[in-house]
Amino acid sequence: MPNYADILKEIEEEIQPLFSQGKVADYIPALSTVNAEDFAMSIQLLYGKSYHIGNTQHKFSIQSISKVFTFTLALKAYGKELYKRVNHEPSGNPFNSLVQLEYENGIPRNPFINAGAIVTTDALTSIYKENTFHTILEFIHTLTNDSSIQYDETIFCSEYQHGYRNMALINMIKSYKNIHNEIDDVMQTYFKQCSVMMNTQQLAQSMLFLANHGTNPKANEALITPSQAKRINALMLTCGHYDASGDFAYKVGLPGKSGVGGGIVAVVPQKMAICVYSPKLNSQGNSLIGTKALELFTTKTNLSIF
Amino acid sequence: MPNYADILKEIEEEIQPLFSQGKVADYIPALSTVNAEDFAMSIQLLYGKSYHIGNTQHKFSIQSISKVFTFTLALKAYGKELYKRVNHEPSGNPFNSLVQLEYENGIPRNPFINAGAIVTTDALTSIYKENTFHTILEFIHTLTNDSSIQYDETIFCSEYQHGYRNMALINMIKSYKNIHNEIDDVMQTYFKQCSVMMNTQQLAQSMLFLANHGTNPKANEALITPSQAKRINALMLTCGHYDASGDFAYKVGLPGKSGVGGGIVAVVPQKMAICVYSPKLNSQGNSLIGTKALELFTTKTNLSIF
Amino acid sequence: MPNYADILKEIEEEIQPLFSQGKVADYIPALSTVNAEDFAMSIQLLYGKSYHIGNTQHKFSIQSISKVFTFTLALKAYGKELYKRVNHEPSGNPFNSLVQLEYENGIPRNPFINAGAIVTTDALTSIYKENTFHTILEFIHTLTNDSSIQYDETIFCSEYQHGYRNMALINMIKSYKNIHNEIDDVMQTYFKQCSVMMNTQQLAQSMLFLANHGTNPKANEALITPSQAKRINALMLTCGHYDASGDFAYKVGLPGKSGVGGGIVAVVPQKMAICVYSPKLNSQGNSLIGTKALELFTTKTNLSIF
Amino acid sequence: MPNYADILKEIEEEIQPLFSQGKVADYIPALSTVNAEDFAMSIQLLYGKSYHIGNTQHKFSIQSISKVFTFTLALKAYGKELYKRVNHEPSGNPFNSLVQLEYENGIPRNPFINAGAIVTTDALTSIYKENTFHTILEFIHTLTNDSSIQYDETIFCSEYQHGYRNMALINMIKSYKNIHNEIDDVMQTYFKQCSVMMNTQQLAQSMLFLANHGTNPKANEALITPSQAKRINALMLTCGHYDASGDFAYKVGLPGKSGVGGGIVAVVPQKMAICVYSPKLNSQGNSLIGTKALELFTTKTNLSIF
């Protein structure tokens, strides 16, 4: 087994020259106040051990990483029925594009772009009604065995007040009748799930079930079927980084999902889950240093799925 | 180890009801004359053994599977320089779309759509000149250890005479100065490589180096670096099936590449290469039964990379 | 001078076979209840005389014809400054498309597609605040010399409740900072202006200033400059019928603007204004019989501007 | 009647400051060698008189102005049948865009973008075979009463050698079966018609039939029907300047057609035809000074059709 502690140290050194690059998300004021120089990386092995470097206690808003949680819940609840409302193809477009929605009658390309995640949250809302966000949060508590995790009210309000593009998306989808609940109810939940605050330790822990055939390794509880876990991993590989998904697969070679808050999670099937945090983003909206750190990791450990 | 012989038999039985579906490619007369009911599947393990079912001696035109061979040669020759001329992102569009070329200044999205493969062949033409097709064919001979493999003159001529869409692509790309050689020279090679005739045994054999870190297992010769082999696998996963790539990753979970002639190759890293043949295509232009056979295979063997 | 009364009678006869075609707008319940067989046509000459046929007292919702009134007010108030926020090119797309907005950074192609009309109403809202709709209505009262004209509350509410596509548009534009007021304020005014009820007599009367160099002929009051009047006419010719604007120019040859309520207004510069009403729409959302009636009119009178 | 001689002098003065702007077409070497400071403007009244300023004897390549001649011939030959193969809607896109062709199955938006003009030339080729270009040239001779007009061999060759984008267009259209003749035959004619050399006097003369209900005023010969003449004028207004057609209608207010060689023709129905020449182009590929000169002309004379 590789010496993960040493590898993390090497990575931390090698990424230093990159801190001058990238740009912290500033579409909402609450996000732009983070420390641009922050870096943290956590590795959670399937059985027990974990390795950490940097400020791994620092909580940041998980943003689009939440799409993995909501898609998991929706796939568990609806199975293949879900595919009628959201496809599973890479879009080739930015995370918030409306173009394909218009050409494809309101069926989002996949659940990891905003349009698809909004439909996913709407699907959960049809089941869990006013408890939808509570259900999502409880799922995160179960995955992390940590019920202290909450959303940040300031970020939530900020998202809500500036979320014109997302409001455009949901209205567009609703015009095609692919939103079944009240727009405001769905968007409140959507913006709350984006505002959930977690650190790299918690996020690495939370993704372990995807490295373990869908079973929470601590509780030994099957959350989803092995086949569903594989499919979520496949989706993270093909669609987890918007229009940089191909590049991430090419360079990192692991299923992963990024968030505009600076976090990226990645899964090594049967082995481990990883989370890296660094808030400066590349031009596609993914953590610039986070992406590089994961590339270094798979290069050093040879742990790519390919 | 699973009993592959039995699994192949099960697959052959389970696909029978699907033979009524799909449609043989008919854009050129020479392709439309194949036997629509044909089926063959070959598994080539990394060390030695192979398993076959169906008419595995029947040769068919490899069509877009040839893109794997040309991209391998070009990546070997140019390394990262190649990325300036062809990207590695899923396009989200059909195999022959011109739309993104216009928005993205003649840089094809990836080497596994027609536009990208044409640029790849042009890059090889800059090196190998009038020997380009010969070089490609020799590479296939090396990979298969079988120098009898040739292209089919009738199919080549037919492609050439009906290749308006591909001629549109290359002219468009050349208008952006991303084709460096004579259009006719490049297209002759391109249409020849598409017309190469191979059977499932040969194709499974030919992909083994991608399951083996880039090294031809028979000759123990490193054809490309391990990193390059991983990247080709990643590319096959994200872009190998055009606008059905996400679906293939989702359901099959293996790097793969399809051809409109009815063949699909797939790679299980460190383990094996697979080829399946059935000429009836689904609406995205991939073998309908071939896709299903591979889905059954990974379900039964649990050999998905996820 | 042609015998307009006779010509109107001929037109009424010749359109009869078309009543079996087309489809009344049904995107809101309040619109779908109109009498599909209704037809009315009014000609208002520049100096005095007018000619009418059919149910010219019947009021219908003017819908997109209101865009002429709001663009006139905005052009009067802002002059060329307005062009920074809304262009004057045909879009080549349907009336409610979001595609170009995304490629062109939230600047609508022209003020006669929904996106552009919403920006126009926003521009008026910046000046007239809570009196914006009142100002628009008063302008209509002035043009028609008829202060009884009002909007229909039922249609307004229905538009408002089903206006997801328009809500998508305004949110999208606001994400590009090209909406300066509260979304709800702008949309209330926008949906009210669409719900204004007028008959063909009133509408023909209201457009006369565009046939008269921008001067209201009754009051002899210059509402806009002659140059502005010409430009509005040019815009109606190139953009007045969405993605059927070219066809309308080709067949009718007059500046015109249609509404999904079934009305079409047209202007013969220096001579007259025309309004025709028939609620069944063609596939581009313009009155099918109204378009034909105007084509017959310019064929019979030779009054095309070309 | 305005004093046209004086007006032309005023225009020539007022455009002087603009000579520092714009850029001569340089996509082929043969075009880039023109004198960037050249300017000429000719007015040809319907009955007799003409007015000229600048170097009105200088011949330049008419380029896309040729599309008016070929569309006239094709409309005369095919009538409404032609609409099945080429539409008459503004495209909202640049002159050489392929995007809409792909979405709209190879039916070009209108005959005044390259794709549509190529289909028009193909339609003529089906009738006139190897005499197609000769027929077009003879039509120009008839219109101008000047049989000295020829195409420029150097420009033709240059177009032909660099015409990748146009070759992409015709191949794309042929893939949809909307080209019926050999690609090379059609393109030879197409590039020759673009290379026809005329001066502003000849071009103004040649457009007079469109100001005269389709009848050549000199010979009093009806070339096309009055209705066809109107439709060509309508098409020039809505589609004559690519994605600046709306702007041209808005500012100039006349049917017009521009060519990348620097010429623009315009028609004042029932009154005159105009041609202006200045080779520096604006960003949409239309003569920058030519457009301004026409805008000044209609402002000074009040001769807009609106």
Largest CA-CA distance found in chain C, in angstroms, rounded:
54
Measured between beta carbons, the chain B residues lying within 8 angstroms of D101 are: 98
Predicted pLDDT of residue D2:
86
Cβ pair A175:C168 closer than 8 A: yes
Q: Where in chain B does DSSP place strands (E)?
A: 23-24, 40-45, 50-54, 60-61, 197-198, 215-216, 221-222, 256-258, 263-268, 272-277, 280-281
Predicted pLDDT of residue B92:
75
Cβ pair A246:B269 closer than 8 A: no
Residue C273 pairs with which residues in a beta bridge?
C44, C267
Q: What pLDDT digit, counting tens, does each position of B241-262 carry? A: 988 999 999 999 999 999 999 9
Are the CB atoms for A272 and A45 separated by under 8 Å?
Answer: yes
Q: Which ipTM did the prediction report?
A: 0.93
Q: DSSP label at B196? A: B
Which of B110, B233, B269 is opposite residue A246, by nearest beta carbon? B110
Instruction: List the single residue in A with minimal CA-CA distance to B91.
Output: A92
CATH pick for C4-61+198-301 out of 3.40.640.10, 3.40.710.10, 3.30.565.10, 3.40.50.720: 3.40.710.10
Instruction: Find out whether A220 is annotated in a ligand binding site.
Output: no
Cβ pair A238:B253 closer than 8 A: no
Largest CA-CA distance found in chain A, in angstroms, rounded:
54
Residue D258 pairs with which residues in a beta bridge?
D264
Q: Return the percentage of chain D with pLDDT > 90, whole number.
A: 87
Chains with at least 3 CB pairs less than 8 angstroms from chain C: A, D
Cβ pair B172:D98 closer than 8 A: yes
Instruction: Find out whether A242 is annotated in a ligand binding site.
Output: yes
Q: Any catalytic annotation for residue D190?
A: yes
- Of D146, D141, D140, D145, whose CA–CA distance to D72 is shortest? D140
Tokens representing B266? 């797939």
Chains with at least 3 CB pairs less than 8 angstroms from chain A: B, C
Give CATH 3.40.710.10 domain extents, chain D.
4-62+197-301, 64-194
Are the CB atoms for C106 and C177 separated by under 8 Å?
Answer: yes
Which of the residues C91, C98, C113 would you substitute to probe the A interface, choosing the one with the greatest number of A C-beta atoms within 10 Å?
C98
**In D, residues 92-121, which contact C (CB 8 Å cutoff)?**
92-93, 100, 109-110
Q: Any catalytic annotation for residue A242?
A: yes
**Residue B242 is inside which H or E element, if any?**
none
Q: Any catalytic annotation for residue C32?
A: no
Q: Return the percentage of chain B with pLDDT > 90, whole number.
A: 87
- Nearest chain D Cα distance for residue C45, angstroms: 16
Cβ pair B238:A109 closer than 8 A: no
Q: Under the phi-then-psi rule, with left for phi > 0, alpha for psi from -120 to 50, and beta for the rest, what region is C105?
A: left
Chains with at least 3 CB pairs less than 8 angstroms from chain D: B, C
For residue B97, what pLDDT band results from cuts at 50, 70 and 90?
confident
Predicted pLDDT of residue C30:
82
Predicted pLDDT of residue C95:
64
HSE-CB for B129 with a 13 A CA cutoff? 0
Give the mean pLDDT of B123-146.
Answer: 97
Coarse DSSP helix, strand, coil percentages of chain B, rounded to the nearest 5 percent: 55, 15, 35
Are the CB atoms for A213 and A226 separated by under 8 Å?
Answer: yes
Instruction: Find out whether B64 is annotated in a ligand binding site.
Output: yes
Are the CB atoms for A82 and A124 separated by under 8 Å?
Answer: no
**Residue B208 is inside which H or E element, if any?**
helix B208-211
Give CATH 3.40.710.10 domain extents, chain B.
4-60+198-301, 64-194
Q: What are phi and psi of D17, to 5 degrees?
A: -65, -15
For residue D285, the Cα-to-chain-centroid distance in whole angstroms is 13
- Of C4, C14, C73, C68, whose CA–CA distance to C42 is shortest? C4
Cβ pair C88:D247 closer than 8 A: yes
Classified by CATH at the fold level, domain D4-62+197-301 comes out as Beta-lactamase (3.40.710)
Predicted pLDDT of residue B274:
98
Q: DSSP label at C151? A: B
Q: What pLDDT digit, counting tens, does each position of A223-239 carry? A: 999 999 999 999 999 99
Instruction: List the single residue in A with minimal CA-CA distance to B238.
Output: A238
Tokens representing A302? 């040879």
CATH pick for A4-62+196-301 out of 3.40.50.300, 3.40.630.10, 3.40.50.11270, 3.40.710.10: 3.40.710.10
Which of B93, B231, B299 is opposite residue A92, by nearest beta carbon? B93
A36-53 CB burial, b ≥16 within 10 A, e <16: eebbbbbbbbeeeebbbb
- One pLDDT digit (tens) per residue for chain A, 306 residues: 789 999 999 999 999 999 999 999 888 888 888 899 999 999 999 987 999 999 999 999 999 999 999 999 999 999 999 999 999 998 877 666 777 888 888 999 999 999 999 999 999 999 999 999 999 999 999 999 999 999 999 999 999 998 999 999 999 999 999 999 999 999 999 999 999 999 999 999 999 999 999 999 988 899 999 999 999 999 999 999 988 999 999 999 999 999 999 999 999 999 999 999 999 999 989 999 999 999 999 999 999 999
Instruction: List the single residue in A with minimal CA-CA distance to B256.
Output: A306
Q: Any catalytic annotation for residue A260?
A: yes
User: C197 — contact with chain A (CB < 8 Å)?
Assistant: no
Instruction: Find out whether D91 is annotated in a ligand binding site.
Output: no
Q: What letter represents residue C62's amino acid?
A: I
Predicted pLDDT of residue A235:
96
A&B contacts, CB < 8 Å: 107
- Of A186, A27, A194, A174, whose CA–CA distance to A108 is shortest? A174
Residue of A51, A151, A160, A242 marked active site: A242
Which of the residues C114, C122, C167 would you substitute to probe the A interface, choosing the one with the greatest number of A C-beta atoms within 10 Å?
C167
What stretches in chain D show pLDDT beneath 70? 94-96
Measured between beta carbons, the chain C residues lying within 8 angstroms of D92 are: 89-93, 100, 109
Give the mean pLDDT of B149-162.
Answer: 94
Tokens representing A109? 């390309």
Instruction: List the single residue in A with minimal CA-CA distance to B212.
Output: A306
Cβ pair A88:B239 closer than 8 A: no
Instruction: Find out whether D114 is annotated in a ligand binding site.
Output: yes
Predicted pLDDT of residue A70:
98
- Nearest chain B Cα distance for residue A118, angstroms: 20
Q: What is the pTM of this model?
A: 0.93
Which of C99, C164, C171 is opposite residue A102, by nearest beta carbon? C99
Classified by CATH at the fold level, domain B4-60+198-301 comes out as Beta-lactamase (3.40.710)
Which of the residues C114, C160, C175 would you substitute to probe the A interface, choosing the one with the greatest number of A C-beta atoms within 10 Å?
C175
Give CATH 3.40.710.10 domain extents, chain C.
4-61+198-301, 64-194
For residue C287, what pLDDT band results from cuts at 50, 70 and 90?
very high
* Average pLDDT along chain C: 94
Which of the residues B83, B97, B250 would you substitute to probe the A interface, choosing the one with the greatest number of A C-beta atoms within 10 Å?
B250
Instruction: Find out whether D64 is annotated in a ligand binding site.
Output: yes
Q: What letter represents residue B133's amino acid?
A: F
Q: What pLDDT digit, counting tens, does each position of A252-294 carry? A: 999 999 999 999 999 999 999 999 999 999 998 999 999 999 9
Give CATH 3.40.710.10 domain extents, chain A.
4-62+196-301, 64-194
- Nearest chain B Cα distance for residue D14, angstroms: 38
CA dihedral B236, B242, B244, B248 (to 10 degrees): -10
Q: What is the DSSP string of D219-244?
A: TTEE-S-HHHHHHHHHHHHHHTTGGG
Helices (H), C176-286: 183-194, 200-206, 208-211, 226-239, 245-251
Which of B230, B245, B250 is opposite residue A304, by nearest beta carbon? B230
Q: Any catalytic annotation for residue D64?
A: yes
CATH pick for C64-194 out of 3.40.710.10, 3.30.830.10, 3.90.230.10, 3.40.640.10: 3.40.710.10
Measured between beta carbons, the chain D residues lying within 8 angstroms of C306 are: 229-231, 233-234, 237, 255, 269, 305
